[in-house]
Structure 1
Amino acid sequence: MTGTPHVVSDVMTRTVLALHHGAAFKEIVTALQQWQVSAAPVVDDDGRVVGVVSEADLLRKEEACDGAPVRYGDSLPDSRSTKAASVTVEELMTVPAVTVHPEATLPEAARSMARHGVKRLPVVDANGLLKGVVSRSDLLKVFLREDEDIAEEIRHTIVPHLFADSAGPIRVAVDGGVVTLTGRVTDTTLIPVAVGWVRSVDGVIAVDCALTGPRHRPDLDPDLPGDERVSPA
């Protein structure tokens, strides 16, 4: 994978389990076990995502059937008791489904997962049609990127843009996703910009910046005109 930033369509799983909104309880359990997933999107007759059903949704029915005695007046909370009595995916599923678009960036997908407390997101197009699923493990794929691939992107995209007139060669080394930048630059105010940009490159785990300003040569005769120098900040 090359280019920055990568988007959901670069890493998502395209062949996925999708449950029809009329699927029965046992069909759901069987499908989840066969596909070895803990949740699946639910689609309508046109293939649009209308919800998500998970093992947690199914276990609520098991909780109501565990054989434990129930005292008079005891009951499950309304939302849980409703799902416990449900027999179809349309009644069990969680709505609305939390989805993501194929062109969303990986950080956007990660933030959505964290915000909603889910491990995977159905990927839908502008019409709500299911295109795939992106999971936490999919988002981690970028960290399997080869070190040299990361280094080449930084050398060809970031270094020429920021340091075309550098005081010397800018060296980029990557080891296990950790980027080391060395060399002298003319404008030291661009160093924090470079570090932030490098951190945004897919596959980068950390940045070790050893960039410095140009060598300072003492002004032997500061009274002579036309030889003013400004020390780097």
Structure 2
Amino acid sequence: MTRQWNTVGEVMTHAVVAVGRDATFRGILDTLQRWKVSAVPVLAGDGRVVGVVSEADLLTVQDRDPDRAEAFTAGEMMSEPAVTVHAASPTAEAGRAMARGHLKRLPVVDDEGYLVGIVSRGDLLKIHLRDDEDLAGQVRFELLAALSTERAAAVDVRAEEGRIVLTGTLPEASALPVLERLVRAVPGVVDVDVRALAPA
């Protein structure tokens, strides 16, 4: 079975670098540079996410108080409460949260607020970078869920650079618009060409 790519947990990065409330300005800066990330979650002593420190937060502190910038800790600089998302959340939900907050990444937490991963804009874009074989397989799976096995088998699915081409026969012409909407809803599909015809 092909990957669904519908939830944050399916595209997130599991290995996450994080800091504690007491992390220093210099320590956070070094961490961002070492791991080539633009922000890090801040964890409480029990491991729950309490905030996020970003490059923008560091710059704000540096501009506001350049002489004392390096004395600040993560707890003093972080944006709180942290905007988080759950692994089971739809990828679209994460995308909307990033757009609303002008954020590049979100900590992914479990039901108790513990950090389990991180999802970035790049992770969400993986949906659109699926190879054609994977994408065609996902469309076939969706057709099987919507049609009978016999009807689904009568429709040939081909993917070309994210564009789905459907050929074959369907039981009735009225099903074509519904079929096209179903296929367009599959993450990663950029266009649909329905050439399937109802039998005479």
Q: What TM-score results when the alignment is normalised by the length of structure 1? A: 0.76
- The structure 1 residue matched to 2:177, chosen from 176, 184, 192, is 192
Equivalent residues of 1:61, 1:86 under 8 A apart: no
More helix by percentage: 2
Q: Are 2:101 and 1:113 equivalent residues in the alignment?
A: no
TM alignment of 1:80-119, pairs within 5 A = 87-119=72-104
- RMSD between aligned residues: 2.6
Percent identical pairs in the alignment equals 45
- The structure 2 residue matched to 1:137, chosen from 113, 122, 125, is 122
Residues 151 and 45 of structure 1: is their aligned pair in 2 closer, same or farther, counting only changes over 3 Å?
Answer: same
Q: Are 2:49 and 1:49 equivalent residues in the alignment?
A: yes
Equivalent residues of 2:24, 2:71 under 8 A apart: no
Residues 43 and 204 of structure 1: is their aligned pair in 2 closer, same or farther, counting only changes over 3 Å?
Answer: same
- For 1:122-156, what per-residue CA distance to the aligned partner results, in whole angstroms no more than 9, with x for missing partners? 00000000011111111122333221222233234
Aligned length: 199
Equivalent residues of 2:26, 2:70 under 8 A apart: no
- The structure 1 residue matched to 2:134, chosen from 149, 164, 168, is 149
Post-superposition offset of 1:179: 0.3
Residues 64 and 149 of structure 1: is their aligned pair in 2 closer, same or farther, counting only changes over 3 Å?
Answer: closer
Post-superposition offset of 1:101: 0.4
Post-superposition offset of 1:29: 1.2
What secondary structure does 2:195 align onto? strand
Equivalent residues of 2:12, 2:117 under 8 A apart: yes
Q: Are 2:142 and 1:162 equivalent residues in the alignment?
A: no
What secondary structure does 1:192 align onto? helix
Aligned partners of 1:9 and 1:186: how far apart in 2?
37
Aligned partners of 2:174 and 2:71: how far apart in 1?
62
- What does residue 22 of structure 1 align with? 22
- Structure 1 stretches lacking a partner, 5+ long: 68-82, 216-233
- Structure 2 stretches lacking a partner, 5+ long: none
What secondary structure does 1:188 align onto? coil
Aligned partners of 2:135 and 2:34: how far apart in 1?
37
Equivalent residues of 2:11, 2:124 under 8 A apart: yes
Aligned partners of 2:141 and 2:115: how far apart in 1?
36
Q: Are 2:125 and 1:125 equivalent residues in the alignment?
A: no
Q: What TM-score results when the alignment is normalised by the length of structure 2? A: 0.87
Residues 194 and 103 of structure 1: is their aligned pair in 2 closer, same or farther, counting only changes over 3 Å?
Answer: same
Larger Rg, first or second structure (1 or 2): 1
Higher mean C-alpha deviation, range 142-151 or range 30-39? 142-151
Aligned partners of 1:61 and 1:51: how far apart in 2?
16
